[in-house]
Chain A
Amino acid sequence: MTKSELIARLAERNPHLYQRDVERIVSTIFDEIAEALARGDRVELRGFGAFSTKRRDARQGRNPRTGESVSVTEKMVPCFKTGKQLRELLNP
Chain B
Amino acid sequence: MPANTITRSQLCEAVYQEVGLSRNESADILEMVLDELSGALSRGETVKISSFGSFSVRKKGQRVGRNPKTGDEVPILPRQVLVFRPSQLLKGRVNGGRSGGAS
Contacts and interface: CB of A to CB of B under 8 A. Distances in A.
Interface in B7-33: 7-8, 10-11, 14-15, 18-21, 26, 29-30, 32-33
Residue among A9, A34, A51 with the most chain B CB within 10 A? A34
A75 B47 CA distance: 26
A83 to B, nearest CB: 9
A2 B11 CA distance: 21
A28 to B, nearest CB: 5
Interface string A30-51: 1011101111111111111101
A88 B31 CA distance: 18
Given A24-B18, A90-B57, A37 B34 contact: no
A2 B45 CA distance: 10
Contacts of B5: 41-44
The size bracket of the interface on B is 35 or more
Interface in A1-49: 1-3, 6, 9-10, 13-14, 17, 21-22, 24-26, 28-30, 32-34, 36-49
Given A1-B47, A6-B36, A86-B38, A43 B6 contact: yes
Given A3-B49, A41-B5, A90 B94 contact: no
A28 B33 contact: no
Interface of B: 1, 3-8, 10-11, 14-15, 18-21, 26, 29-30, 32-34, 36-38, 40-42, 45-53, 55, 57, 79-82, 84, 86, 90-91, 93-96, 99
Given A52-B3, A78-B91, A86-B82, 4 more contacts: A1-B48, A29-B33, A43-B6, A80-B55
